[in-house]
Amino acid sequence: MNLKDINNIILTGIDENGEEREYKISDFTGKRTILYFYPKDNTSGCTQEACDFKENKKRWTSKSQVVGVSPDSIKSHKNFREKHELNFVLLSDSNHALAEAFGAWGEKSMYGKKYMGIIRSTFLIDETGEVVKEWRKVKVKGHVDEVLAELT
């Protein structure tokens, strides 16, 4: 998949300075992008993953940019970002259009109940907007190290 194929998707996000703005997916071309989908702000696994990216910023900033995506609202993203001092873009995909385009939206199960939601996934996208590596059904522990190892 190439980001040009889904450039019509426009999302509202919180930039690395905490400011709200609209993004077209093509805004992330020109530099390698780590695009990761996570289910919900301020839950244990999602917080750990976000903080792992934040704490390893020196390992990815010269080589790429990180963009987190969840269906949460902008208000939720602002709170999540401020509470954990996150230093990368968070996008609100409330209608899950971007998640569906990447195959990161699907059936999940918890305590025997099936529902639709974000399937924790990460994509490494090159400077031209081409997906060059993907991780599906991600386990949080050690995942950021695995992704950053791919950058070298």
**Per-residue model confidence (pLDDT) at position 2:** 65
What radius of gyration do the chain's Cα atoms show?
14
Taking only the tens place, the pLDDT of each residue in 85-136 is 999 999 999 999 999 999 999 999 889 999 999 999 999 999 988 999 999 9
Whole-number percent of the chain with pLDDT over 70: 97
Mean pLDDT of 135-146: 95
Cα–Cα distance, 93 to 13 (Å, whole number): 9
Rounded Cα distance between 46 and 44, Å, is 6
The Cα–Cα gap between 23 and 14 comes to 9
Positions annotated as catalytic residues are: 46
pTM here is 0.92
CATH number at residue 116: 3.40.30.10
- Domain with 74, as residue range(s), is 3-151
How many domains are there within the chain? 1
Q: What is the pLDDT of residues 21-37, one digit of tens each?
A: 999 888 888 889 999 99
Q: SS3 breakdown of the chain: % helix, strand, coil, rounded to 5? A: 30, 35, 35
